[in-house]
């Protein structure tokens, strides 16, 4: 956008970019390449390129996906992510509309917004004890439902912030026109506002899914057996299986691929979400 880049600078910048990309991508490649090595190949050095340096195999993927425990965990993670994100977006969209279009006292809107944001500041370990005791009382320990509720709570700030900003950016005349035509506020909301914010709404839903999928502390504290999701499976594996590189590779990728794919789908809204609305990106 300014100043010409000299050839020396261009080389320097190119070099930095390559190093940065290698640094970021290496762990992913390492996980992938190990997941398709035969166990013996993981102990040999110089096995980086499949087919050339070693014969790749899908046997670990097949055998891991056949394990009942893993399938159950994938299923649990999916239920938690879908359920929590849907709940958060449902509650969050309504609140976002209220914050964008109505006034709550003199500085009520700003205060309410800050209050919703503060959810993301609260260290989860503060509330993990009461949640554990409450869920035990409700007999919801080791139940995916409890994790759906908690993850909905802690991802709620994303839809509230992102969508209230989006609604504020919409021209209000559209809703006014609908009201003049005899629609009520609910109809203006569902027929005019919702379709217009749909891309942002879907992106926010996806971001909430990614965060809920990755959540670990509550999952570790509240599940023991049936309801264990992928992050908890992974954390326990080291002690039962030792360090087997091929096995680590498969499980790590099974766990992190869904949230990574979600993130790429919702890329446009990620900066806005992660900075709680401060930077548009």
Restricting to residues 109-148, name those near another protein by CB under 8 A.
110, 112, 115-116, 119-134, 136
- For the chain, how are helix, strand and coil distributed in percent, rounded to 5? 75, 0, 25
In the chain the first and final C-alpha atoms are separated, in Å, by 17
225 binds another protein per the rule CB under 8 A: no
Query: What are the structure tokens assigned to 55, written together?
Result: 């014969």
51 binds another protein per the rule CB under 8 A: no
What binding mask, one character per residue, do residues 153-182 give for another protein by CB under 8 A, x or -? x--x---x----x------x--xx--xx-x
CB of residue 56 to another protein, shortest distance in Å: 18
CB of residue 86 to another protein, shortest distance in Å: 14
Determine the Cα–Cα distance for residues 242 and 149; give it in Å rounded to an integer.
34
70 binds another protein per the rule CB under 8 A: no
CB of residue 72 to another protein, shortest distance in Å: 17
Q: Which residue stretch of 54-62, 65-73, 78-86, 254-262 sits at the interface with another protein (rule: CB under 8 A)?
A: 254-262
Nearer to another protein, 58 or 257 (CB): 257
The radius of gyration of the chain from alpha carbons, rounded to an integer in Å, stands at 23
Pick from 81, 149, 162, 197 the residue near another protein by CB under 8 A.
149
16 binds another protein per the rule CB under 8 A: yes
> Among 55, 243, 228, 62, which residue's Cα sits nearest to residue 146?
228
**Long-range CB contacts (< 8 A, 24+ apart) of 114-121?**
116/156, 116/157, 116/160, 116/161, 117/157, 117/160, 117/161, 117/276, 119/153, 119/154, 119/156, 119/157, 120/154, 120/157, 120/276
35 binds another protein per the rule CB under 8 A: no
């Amino acid at each position: 956008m300014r100043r010409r880049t000299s050839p020396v600078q261009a080389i320097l910048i190119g070099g930095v970019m390559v190093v940065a990309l290698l640094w970021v991508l290496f762990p992913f490649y390492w996980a992938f390449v190990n997941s398709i090595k035969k166990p013996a190949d993981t102990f040999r050095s110089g096995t980086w390129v499949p087919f050339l340096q070693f014969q790749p195999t899908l046997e670990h993927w097949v055998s891991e996906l056949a394990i009942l425990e893993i399938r159950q965990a994938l299923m649990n993670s999916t239920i938690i992510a879908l359920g929590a994100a849907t709940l958060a977006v449902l509650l969050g969209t309504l609140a976002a509309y209220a914050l964008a279009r109505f006034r709550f006292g003199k500085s009520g809107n700003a205060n309410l917004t800050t209050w919703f944001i503060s959810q993301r500041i609260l260290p989860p370990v503060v509330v993990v004890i009461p949640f554990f005791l409450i869920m035990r009382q409700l007999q919801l320990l080791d139940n995916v439902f409890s994790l759906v509720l908690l993850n909905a709570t802690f991802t709620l700030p994303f839809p509230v912030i992102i969508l209230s900003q989006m609604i504020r950016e919409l021209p209000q005349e559209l809703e006014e026109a609908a009201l003049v035509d005899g629609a009520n506020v609910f109809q203006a909301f569902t027929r005019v506002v919702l379709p217009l914010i749909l891309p942002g709404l879907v992106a926010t839903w996806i971001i909430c899914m990614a965060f809920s999928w990755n959540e670990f502390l509550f999952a570790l504290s509240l599940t023991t057996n049936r309801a264990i999701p992928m992050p908890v499976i992974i954390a326990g594996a080291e002690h039962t299986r030792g360090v087997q590189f091929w096995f680590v590779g498969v499980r790590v990728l099974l766990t992190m691929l869904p949230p990574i794919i979600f993130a790429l789908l919702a890329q446009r809204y990620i900066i806005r979400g992660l900075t709680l609305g401060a930077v548009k990106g």
